[in-house]
Structure 1
Amino acid sequence: MGLGSIIALPVVISSCSKDNDTADDGSGGSCPVSPSETKGPFPIHTPAQYVRASIIGDRTGVALLMNLTVLDQSNGCTPLQDVYVDVWQCDKDGLYSQYSTQTSANYLRGRQTTNGNGQVSFISIFPGWYPGRAPHIHVEILTTGGRSLLVTQIAFPVSTYTAVYATTGYNGAPDTSNTQDSIFSDSLSRNMADSVTGNNTDGYTLTKTIIVA
């Protein structure tokens, strides 16, 4: 499922492009704050215990490297250093650790602190889906004091998740597309990953810039 090659994926995050970061969102403003989305129902219970770059645990699936950049709108959309980035997602079967039948498991959850360029990386697998939701990754940005700056979600291009879900082990096409997803209904273009490159054999690399107020 591509997991054997995930360590070979380059952890490369491009430096911030001011032209891209300040692109107009159509609302008359520039450098728009990323969409605020629901935190639950499956946030990390104790995120401080899961400071790690690899969040795979014992799960299997198509490899995914997430490269995230956090920018501070209140400071000219410059990179935001030394803030926590928490991520959590479901496995290929649509299950979340720490909840329901998975209360004793802690897979696909992690925390990293942004570097001087506002960047973090996580090694994961491509998420599956569950009824009523399109494929997604949860992200929360917090100060080191624990104050939440933003909770958001990342969506995937249809062509990418269609290719992944056609592989053995995943559950086929999701029952809810990006455009049918109620969470993304008013913000899909800004929830969408900036890019997702790769293939089912070698894995995928996701890049996303997240902007906080």
Structure 2
Amino acid sequence: MKRKDFLKKSVFSIGTFFTIPTLVSCNNDTNNSNDIENESGLCEITPSETKGPFPIKTPSDLVRENIISDRQGVPLLINLTIQNKDCETLNDVLVDVWHCDKDGNYSEYGGIQMQTTNYTDVHFLRGRQTTDTNGQASFISIYPGWYNGRAPHIHVEILNSNKTSLLITQIAFPEDISGSVYSSSLYASHGQANTSNSNDNVFSDSIDNEMGIVTGNLNDGFTISQTITVNN
């Protein structure tokens, strides 16, 4: 997403004004800086991860760039570039994202031991976009919180135009930035994450390939950029 487009989509959350992240460019130089090539010169496939425990139930009903809904938090722009193993960007593929709110809760679920707060009838922090001619898709969101046993993360699923899944993966956050966010007033009541990236059961063996590139600050918001490579 270009800066001028994001400026047009500035948003409000209940009781909180969302200012604009200072770095929101979605260009190839930024997003491809976390490409990893293997010995054959091909781009390394992004690790496949679990879809659960709170996947999107009806992603085709959630085609939208702004996935915040009524959630409060530090602004986050999610910039994703999708490519194949030959390092060629893929246009017209579907990108689904979902993550928890600042208190560690997911929409579409609740009333269970893992998440007692019931959000079964709402659909915040979930969305679908189609990649453009540069293989890119963007989402306007908030910095995710955390829940017991998991480091902060974003879930992503890539599907082709026939809605066949090409990859399910997750994106990690730098711990120093998460620590700063969780010390801020909006997040402080939930405390610091109790699981590090190195102790996380998803990221512990794959963090180098799943760490997002985060820029920005608490006052203006953050941008997380990631290039995802599918076996296609």
TM-score, normalisation: structure 2? 0.84
Cα drift, residue 28 of structure 1 = 6.9
| Corresponding residue of 1:179 | 198
Change (3 A) 1:64 1:18: closer
Measured in 2, the distance between the counterparts of 1:159 and 1:2 equals: 24
| Corresponding residue of 1:154 | 171
Deviations 1:62-109 (A, max 9, x none): 000011000011xx2110010000000000000000001100110000
- Select which of 15, 18, 35 maps to 1:4: 18
Measured in 1, the distance between the counterparts of 2:182 and 2:33 equals: 30
| Corresponding residue of 2:221 | 203
Partner SS, residue 102 of structure 1:
coil
Is 1:13 aligned to residue 26 of structure 2?
yes
Change (3 A) 1:149 1:19: closer
Q: State the percentage of identical aligned residues.
A: 52
Partner SS, residue 167 of structure 1:
coil
Cα drift, residue 29 of structure 1 = 6.2
Measured in 2, the distance between the counterparts of 1:131 and 1:17 equals: 32
Measured in 1, the distance between the counterparts of 2:36 and 2:68 equals: 34
Give, as a single letter, the amino acid of the residue that structure 2 aligns with 1:189: D
Deviations 1:141-170 (A, max 9, x none): 001211000000000001110100001121
Kindly indicate whether the alpha-carbon contact (under 8 Å) linking 2:82 and 2:90 is maintained by their aligned counterparts in 1: yes
Change (3 A) 1:78 1:17: farther
Change (3 A) 1:188 1:57: same
| Corresponding residue of 2:90 | 80
| Corresponding residue of 1:113 | 130
Deviations 1:159-189 (A, max 9, x none): 1101000011212211101111011121011
| Corresponding residue of 2:139 | 122
Is 1:70 aligned to residue 82 of structure 2?
yes
Which runs of no fewer than 5 residues in structure 1 stay unpaired? none
Cα drift, residue 19 of structure 1 = 8.1
Kindly indicate whether the alpha-carbon contact (under 8 Å) linking 1:3 and 1:203 is maintained by their aligned counterparts in 2: no
Aligned residues: 208
Which runs of no fewer than 5 residues in structure 2 stay unpaired? 1-14, 111-117
Cα drift, residue 23 of structure 1 = 3.5
Kindly indicate whether the alpha-carbon contact (under 8 Å) linking 1:90 and 1:97 is maintained by their aligned counterparts in 2: yes
Partner SS, residue 85 of structure 1:
strand
Give, as a single letter, the amino acid of the residue that structure 1 aligns with 2:18: G
Change (3 A) 1:23 1:153: closer
Deviations 1:43-69 (A, max 9, x none): 110001100000000000000001100
Change (3 A) 1:210 1:14: same
Is 1:90 aligned to residue 107 of structure 2?
no
Change (3 A) 1:91 1:18: closer
TM-score, normalisation: structure 1? 0.91
Give, as a single letter, the amino acid of the residue that structure 2 aligns with 1:12: S
Change (3 A) 1:77 1:207: same
Partner SS, residue 209 of structure 2:
helix
Measured in 1, the distance between the counterparts of 2:217 and 2:30 equals: 26
